[in-house]
Protein backbone atom coordinates (compact mmCIF):
# COMPACT_ATOMS: atom_id res chain seq x y z
CA UNK A 1 0.00 0.00 0.00
CA UNK A 2 2.98 2.32 0.50
CA UNK A 3 3.64 5.07 2.99
CA UNK A 4 0.92 7.73 3.29
CA UNK A 5 1.25 10.00 6.34
CA UNK A 6 -1.91 10.90 8.20
CA UNK A 7 -2.06 14.55 9.23
CA UNK A 8 -4.31 17.62 9.15
CA UNK A 9 -3.11 21.12 8.33
CA UNK A 10 -4.38 23.18 11.25
CA UNK A 11 -4.43 26.97 11.41
CA UNK A 12 -1.27 26.79 13.56
CA UNK A 13 0.55 24.69 10.96
CA UNK A 14 -0.59 27.01 8.17
CA UNK A 15 0.64 30.03 10.13
CA UNK A 16 4.06 28.47 10.71
CA UNK A 17 4.37 27.57 7.03
CA UNK A 18 3.84 31.23 6.15
CA UNK A 19 6.36 32.40 8.75
CA UNK A 20 8.93 29.92 7.45
CA UNK A 21 8.44 31.20 3.89
CA UNK A 22 8.78 34.79 5.04
CA UNK A 23 12.05 34.09 6.86
CA UNK A 24 13.38 32.02 3.97
CA UNK A 25 12.71 34.79 1.45
CA UNK A 26 14.25 37.43 3.70
CA UNK A 27 17.44 35.42 4.19
CA UNK A 28 17.73 34.64 0.48
CA UNK A 29 17.60 38.34 -0.38
CA UNK A 30 20.00 39.64 2.25
CA UNK A 31 23.47 40.57 0.96
CA UNK A 32 26.24 39.09 3.08
CA UNK A 33 30.01 38.98 2.77
CA UNK A 34 31.03 35.47 1.64
CA UNK A 35 33.71 35.21 4.30
CA UNK A 36 31.17 36.10 6.97
CA UNK A 37 28.79 33.54 5.49
CA UNK A 38 31.50 30.86 5.60
CA UNK A 39 32.09 31.57 9.28
CA UNK A 40 28.39 31.37 10.06
CA UNK A 41 28.11 28.06 8.18
CA UNK A 42 30.99 26.59 10.16
CA UNK A 43 29.44 27.70 13.44
CA UNK A 44 26.05 26.24 12.42
CA UNK A 45 27.64 22.87 11.62
CA UNK A 46 29.45 22.74 14.95
CA UNK A 47 26.26 23.64 16.82
CA UNK A 48 24.25 21.04 14.87
CA UNK A 49 26.83 18.38 15.64
CA UNK A 50 26.91 19.22 19.33
CA UNK A 51 23.17 19.20 19.88
CA UNK A 52 22.26 16.24 17.66
CA UNK A 53 24.78 14.01 19.43
CA UNK A 54 23.89 15.47 22.84
CA UNK A 55 20.29 14.32 22.29
CA UNK A 56 21.60 10.75 22.14
CA UNK A 57 23.70 11.11 25.29
CA UNK A 58 27.00 12.49 24.03
CA UNK A 59 28.85 14.13 26.93
CA UNK A 60 31.01 16.66 25.08
CA UNK A 61 30.30 20.35 25.61
CA UNK A 62 30.07 22.76 22.70
CA UNK A 63 33.58 23.99 23.47
CA UNK A 64 34.92 20.39 23.52
CA UNK A 65 33.23 19.64 20.18
CA UNK A 66 35.15 22.58 18.73
CA UNK A 67 38.37 21.30 20.31
CA UNK A 68 37.89 17.91 18.63
CA UNK A 69 36.63 19.04 15.22
CA UNK A 70 38.43 22.35 14.66
CA UNK A 71 41.68 22.00 16.59
CA UNK A 72 42.09 18.22 16.38
CA UNK A 73 42.51 17.86 20.15
CA UNK A 74 41.51 14.88 22.28
CA UNK A 75 39.31 14.96 25.36
CA UNK A 76 40.51 12.56 28.11
CA UNK A 77 38.23 9.55 28.64
CA UNK A 78 35.83 10.69 25.92
CA UNK A 79 36.99 8.60 22.94
CA UNK A 80 33.52 7.27 22.17
CA UNK A 81 32.05 10.76 22.35
CA UNK A 82 34.79 12.06 20.06
CA UNK A 83 34.01 9.32 17.54
CA UNK A 84 30.31 10.22 17.57
CA UNK A 85 30.87 13.92 16.87
CA UNK A 86 33.42 13.18 14.15
CA UNK A 87 30.96 10.80 12.50
CA UNK A 88 28.07 13.22 12.69
CA UNK A 89 30.15 16.11 11.36
CA UNK A 90 31.34 14.01 8.40
CA UNK A 91 27.79 12.84 7.66
CA UNK A 92 26.45 16.41 7.90
CA UNK A 93 29.08 17.60 5.44
CA UNK A 94 28.15 14.79 3.05
CA UNK A 95 24.43 15.52 3.42
CA UNK A 96 24.87 19.16 2.41
CA UNK A 97 27.15 18.24 -0.51
CA UNK A 98 24.75 15.55 -1.71
CA UNK A 99 21.79 17.94 -1.52
CA UNK A 100 23.65 20.43 -3.71
CA UNK A 101 24.10 17.89 -6.52
CA UNK A 102 20.97 15.70 -6.22
CA UNK A 103 17.24 16.35 -6.14
CA UNK A 104 16.19 12.87 -5.06
CA UNK A 105 16.70 10.75 -1.96
CA UNK A 106 17.93 7.21 -2.60
CA UNK A 107 18.42 4.18 -0.39
CA UNK A 108 22.13 3.90 -1.30
CA UNK A 109 22.50 7.51 -0.12
CA UNK A 110 20.84 6.70 3.20
CA UNK A 111 23.09 3.67 3.72
CA UNK A 112 26.20 5.72 2.94
CA UNK A 113 25.00 8.52 5.21
CA UNK A 114 24.58 6.07 8.07
CA UNK A 115 27.99 4.56 7.35
CA UNK A 116 29.58 8.00 7.69
CA UNK A 117 27.56 8.69 10.82
CA UNK A 118 28.85 5.55 12.53
CA UNK A 119 32.33 5.70 10.98
CA UNK A 120 33.93 8.05 13.50
CA UNK A 121 35.17 10.48 10.86
CA UNK A 122 36.39 7.94 8.30
CA UNK A 123 36.18 9.36 4.79
CA UNK A 124 35.22 6.05 3.14
CA UNK A 125 33.27 3.92 5.58
CA UNK A 126 31.19 1.00 4.35
CA UNK A 127 27.51 1.77 3.69
CA UNK A 128 25.41 0.30 6.48
CA UNK A 129 22.91 -2.45 5.59
CA UNK A 130 19.52 -2.35 7.30
CA UNK A 131 19.21 -4.31 10.53
CA UNK A 132 18.68 -8.06 10.23
CA UNK A 133 16.95 -8.53 13.60
CA UNK A 134 14.54 -6.85 15.99
CA UNK A 135 15.62 -3.72 17.84
CA UNK A 136 13.23 -3.28 20.74
CA UNK A 137 13.42 0.11 22.44
CA UNK A 138 13.26 -0.11 26.22
CA UNK A 139 13.15 2.30 29.11
CA UNK A 140 16.71 2.11 30.47
CA UNK A 141 15.90 2.18 34.21
CA UNK A 142 12.88 -0.16 34.17
CA UNK A 143 13.51 -2.33 31.12
CA UNK A 144 9.92 -1.71 30.03
CA UNK A 145 9.29 -1.85 26.28
CA UNK A 146 8.79 1.68 24.97
CA UNK A 147 8.46 0.85 21.29
CA UNK A 148 8.48 -2.29 19.13
CA UNK A 149 9.64 -1.37 15.60
CA UNK A 150 8.60 -3.38 12.53
CA UNK A 151 10.19 -6.78 11.94
CA UNK A 152 13.52 -6.76 10.10
CA UNK A 153 12.00 -8.60 7.13
CA UNK A 154 9.65 -5.65 6.54
CA UNK A 155 12.28 -2.91 6.78
CA UNK A 156 13.49 -2.94 3.12
CA UNK A 157 9.96 -2.55 1.73
CA UNK A 158 9.10 0.15 4.28
CA UNK A 159 12.26 2.12 3.47
CA UNK A 160 11.58 1.82 -0.25
CA UNK A 161 8.05 3.15 0.31
CA UNK A 162 9.39 6.05 2.40
CA UNK A 163 11.97 7.09 -0.19
CA UNK A 164 9.37 6.82 -2.98
CA UNK A 165 6.90 9.00 -1.05
CA UNK A 166 9.52 11.69 -0.30
CA UNK A 167 10.57 11.94 -3.94
CA UNK A 168 7.02 11.93 -5.30
CA UNK A 169 5.62 14.51 -2.89
CA UNK A 170 8.44 17.05 -2.51
CA UNK A 171 7.04 18.93 -5.52
CA UNK A 172 3.38 19.10 -4.47
CA UNK A 173 3.40 19.03 -0.64
CA UNK A 174 5.00 21.87 1.39
CA UNK A 175 8.64 20.85 1.78
CA UNK A 176 8.70 21.40 5.57
CA UNK A 177 5.85 18.89 5.89
CA UNK A 178 7.70 16.40 3.66
CA UNK A 179 10.75 16.78 5.92
CA UNK A 180 8.64 16.34 9.06
CA UNK A 181 6.92 13.22 7.72
CA UNK A 182 10.25 11.79 6.53
CA UNK A 183 11.81 12.32 9.96
CA UNK A 184 8.86 10.67 11.69
CA UNK A 185 8.65 7.63 9.43
CA UNK A 186 12.40 6.99 9.44
CA UNK A 187 12.44 7.02 13.24
CA UNK A 188 9.33 4.81 13.27
CA UNK A 189 10.82 2.20 10.93
CA UNK A 190 14.05 2.30 12.98
CA UNK A 191 16.01 0.66 10.15
CA UNK A 192 19.29 0.36 12.08
CA UNK A 193 20.43 -1.01 15.41
CA UNK A 194 21.94 2.34 16.37
CA UNK A 195 22.04 5.92 15.13
CA UNK A 196 18.41 6.12 13.96
CA UNK A 197 17.67 9.48 15.59
CA UNK A 198 20.80 11.12 14.21
CA UNK A 199 20.17 9.64 10.76
CA UNK A 200 16.56 10.89 10.81
CA UNK A 201 17.74 14.41 11.57
CA UNK A 202 20.33 14.22 8.78
CA UNK A 203 17.66 13.01 6.36
CA UNK A 204 15.57 16.03 7.37
CA UNK A 205 18.51 18.36 6.60
CA UNK A 206 19.03 16.71 3.22
CA UNK A 207 15.39 17.16 2.17
CA UNK A 208 15.36 20.80 3.24
CA UNK A 209 18.65 21.61 1.50
CA UNK A 210 17.60 19.82 -1.70
CA UNK A 211 14.45 21.88 -2.09
CA UNK A 212 15.54 25.40 -1.25
CA UNK A 213 15.19 25.37 2.53
CA UNK A 214 18.89 25.13 3.38
CA UNK A 215 18.91 28.78 4.46
CA UNK A 216 22.41 29.21 3.01
CA UNK A 217 23.72 26.55 5.39
CA UNK A 218 23.50 28.64 8.56
CA UNK A 219 20.50 27.22 10.39
CA UNK A 220 20.15 24.24 12.70
CA UNK A 221 17.08 22.47 14.07
CA UNK A 222 18.97 20.29 16.54
CA UNK A 223 19.38 23.01 19.16
CA UNK A 224 15.59 23.44 19.32
CA UNK A 225 15.12 19.69 19.85
CA UNK A 226 17.83 19.45 22.49
CA UNK A 227 16.46 22.39 24.46
CA UNK A 228 12.94 20.95 24.26
CA UNK A 229 13.93 17.29 24.52
CA UNK A 230 10.90 16.01 26.41
CA UNK A 231 8.58 17.72 23.92
CA UNK A 232 10.64 16.28 21.04
CA UNK A 233 10.14 12.71 22.18
CA UNK A 234 6.52 13.27 23.19
CA UNK A 235 5.75 14.69 19.75
CA UNK A 236 7.31 11.64 18.06
CA UNK A 237 5.47 9.23 20.37
CA UNK A 238 2.09 9.12 18.64
CA UNK A 239 -0.63 6.51 18.37
CA UNK A 240 -2.30 4.36 20.99
CA UNK A 241 0.07 1.40 20.80
CA UNK A 242 3.82 0.96 21.21
CA UNK A 243 3.94 -1.68 18.48
CA UNK A 244 4.44 -0.64 14.86
CA UNK A 245 1.70 -3.00 13.73
CA UNK A 246 -0.80 -1.87 16.37
CA UNK A 247 -1.53 1.74 15.52
CA UNK A 248 1.86 3.36 14.97
CA UNK A 249 1.96 2.81 11.20
CA UNK A 250 -1.24 4.77 10.50
CA UNK A 251 -1.20 7.15 13.48
CA UNK A 252 -2.23 10.79 13.10
CA UNK A 253 1.06 12.72 13.08
CA UNK A 254 -0.49 16.21 13.10
CA UNK A 255 0.99 16.90 16.55
CA UNK A 256 4.47 15.94 15.39
CA UNK A 257 4.16 18.06 12.24
CA UNK A 258 3.06 21.03 14.36
CA UNK A 259 6.00 20.57 16.75
CA UNK A 260 8.45 20.19 13.86
CA UNK A 261 7.24 23.34 12.11
CA UNK A 262 7.32 25.33 15.36
CA UNK A 263 10.99 24.42 15.73
CA UNK A 264 11.69 25.21 12.10
CA UNK A 265 9.97 28.58 12.45
CA UNK A 266 12.00 29.47 15.54
CA UNK A 267 15.25 28.41 13.87
CA UNK A 268 14.59 30.23 10.60
CA UNK A 269 13.52 33.44 12.29
CA UNK A 270 16.61 33.35 14.51
CA UNK A 271 18.79 33.06 11.41
CA UNK A 272 16.99 35.98 9.79
CA UNK A 273 17.70 38.16 12.81
CA UNK A 274 21.32 37.05 12.97
CA UNK A 275 21.87 37.82 9.31
CA UNK A 276 20.19 41.21 9.64
CA UNK A 277 22.59 41.97 12.47
CA UNK A 278 25.53 40.87 10.33
CA UNK A 279 24.32 42.93 7.38
CA UNK A 280 23.95 46.00 9.56
CA UNK A 281 27.39 45.47 11.06
CA UNK A 282 28.95 47.36 8.14
CA UNK A 283 32.73 47.55 8.52
CA UNK A 284 32.58 45.05 11.41
CA UNK A 285 32.16 42.18 8.91
CA UNK A 286 35.88 41.54 8.46
CA UNK A 287 36.36 41.70 12.22
CA UNK A 288 33.51 39.25 12.86
CA UNK A 289 34.84 36.68 10.39
CA UNK A 290 38.28 36.91 12.01
CA UNK A 291 36.82 35.61 15.30
CA UNK A 292 36.96 31.96 16.23
CA UNK A 293 33.80 29.92 16.87
CA UNK A 294 33.85 30.51 20.64
CA UNK A 295 34.26 34.25 20.24
CA UNK A 296 31.35 34.37 17.79
CA UNK A 297 29.24 32.43 20.26
CA UNK A 298 30.06 34.87 23.07
CA UNK A 299 29.47 37.94 20.90
CA UNK A 300 25.63 37.95 21.27
CA UNK A 301 26.04 38.38 25.05
CA UNK A 302 26.99 41.97 24.34
CA UNK A 303 23.64 42.56 22.65
CA UNK A 304 22.09 42.26 26.11
CA UNK A 305 24.88 43.40 28.44
CA UNK A 306 27.49 46.11 27.95
CA UNK A 307 29.84 44.15 30.22
CA UNK A 308 30.05 40.41 30.90
CA UNK A 309 31.71 38.17 33.49
CA UNK A 310 33.83 35.05 33.25
CA UNK A 311 30.92 33.14 34.80
CA UNK A 312 28.76 34.01 31.79
CA UNK A 313 31.52 32.95 29.42
CA UNK A 314 32.08 29.66 31.25
CA UNK A 315 28.37 28.83 31.41
CA UNK A 316 27.78 29.58 27.73
CA UNK A 317 30.78 27.54 26.55
CA UNK A 318 30.49 24.70 29.05
CA UNK A 319 33.79 25.51 30.78
CA UNK A 320 34.84 25.33 34.40
CA UNK A 321 35.11 28.66 36.28
CA UNK A 322 38.88 28.39 36.02
CA UNK A 323 38.61 27.69 32.29
CA UNK A 324 36.39 30.75 31.86
CA UNK A 325 38.90 32.97 33.63
CA UNK A 326 41.80 31.62 31.59
CA UNK A 327 39.94 32.15 28.32
CA UNK A 328 38.96 35.71 29.25
CA UNK A 329 42.60 36.49 30.10
CA UNK A 330 43.70 35.10 26.73
CA UNK A 331 41.09 37.19 24.92
CA UNK A 332 42.25 40.34 26.72
CA UNK A 333 45.77 39.66 25.47
CA UNK A 334 44.41 39.21 21.93
CA UNK A 335 42.33 42.40 22.10
CA UNK A 336 38.94 40.71 21.76
CA UNK A 337 38.05 41.82 25.32
CA UNK A 338 39.16 44.63 27.60
CA UNK A 339 38.81 44.69 31.37
CA UNK A 340 35.99 47.05 32.39
CA UNK A 341 36.00 46.44 36.17
CA UNK A 342 39.41 45.21 37.42
CA UNK A 343 38.34 44.12 40.91
CA UNK A 344 38.85 40.40 41.56
CA UNK A 345 35.35 39.73 42.88
CA UNK A 346 33.42 41.88 40.42
CA UNK A 347 35.65 41.75 37.36
CA UNK A 348 33.80 42.42 34.11
CA UNK A 349 34.78 42.70 30.46
CA UNK A 350 33.60 44.65 27.45
CA UNK A 351 34.39 44.20 23.78
CA UNK A 352 37.72 45.38 22.49
CA UNK A 353 37.96 48.50 20.35
CA UNK A 354 37.63 46.58 17.07
CA UNK A 355 34.18 45.41 18.09
How high is the pLDDT of residue 34? 67
Is the model more confident about 129 or about 308?
129
| Per-residue confidence band for 185, with pLDDT thresholds at 50, 70 and 90 | very high
Chain segment 239-279, per-residue pLDDT in tens: 767 889 887 878 999 999 999 999 999 999 998 887 776 65
Is the model more confident about 39 or about 88?
88
Q: Would you kindly state where each structural domain of the chain is located, as residue ranges?
A: 11-282, 292-351
How high is the pLDDT of residue 279? 59
How high is the pLDDT of residue 344? 76
Report the relative pairing of strands 145-147 and 337-341 from DSSP bridges: unpaired
| Per-residue confidence band for 144, with pLDDT thresholds at 50, 70 and 90 | confident
| Per-residue confidence band for 1, with pLDDT thresholds at 50, 70 and 90 | low
pTM of the model: 0.78
> What value does the mean pLDDT take over residues 20-43?
82
Whether the Cβ atoms of residue 202 and residue 92 lie closer than 8 Å to each other? yes
* Confidence check: pLDDT of 33 > 70: no
What CATH architecture applies to the domain 11-282? Orthogonal Bundle (1.10)
Is the model more confident about 283 or about 201?
201
Contacts of 267 (CB under 8 A, 6+ apart): 219, 220, 221, 223, 224
Q: Which of the residue ranges 29-43, 77-91, 182-196, 238-252 would you say has the lowest mean pLDDT? A: 29-43
| Per-residue confidence band for 96, with pLDDT thresholds at 50, 70 and 90 | very high
**What mean pLDDT is reported for the chain?**
89
Chain segment 290-345, per-residue pLDDT in tens: 788 888 889 888 876 778 899 999 999 999 999 999 999 999 988 889 888 887 77
Chain segment 192-227, per-residue pLDDT in tens: 999 999 999 999 999 999 999 999 888 899 999 998
CATH of domain 292-351: 1.10.10.10
CA-nearest of 119, 294, 139, 105 to 198 is: 119
Percent of the chain with pLDDT over 70: 93
Chain segment 99-127, per-residue pLDDT in tens: 999 999 999 999 999 999 999 888 788 99
Amino acid sequence: MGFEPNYTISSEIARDLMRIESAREAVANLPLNERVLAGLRQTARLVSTHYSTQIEGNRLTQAEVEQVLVRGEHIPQRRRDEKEVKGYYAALDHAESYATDHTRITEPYIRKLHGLLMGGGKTRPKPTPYRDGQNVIRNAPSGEIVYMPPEAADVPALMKDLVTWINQHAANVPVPIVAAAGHYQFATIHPYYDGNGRAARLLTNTILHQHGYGLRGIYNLEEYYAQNLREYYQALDVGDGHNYYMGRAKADISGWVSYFLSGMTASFEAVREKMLDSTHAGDRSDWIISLDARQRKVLPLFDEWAEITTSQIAKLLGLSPRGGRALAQKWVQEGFLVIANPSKRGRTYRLGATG
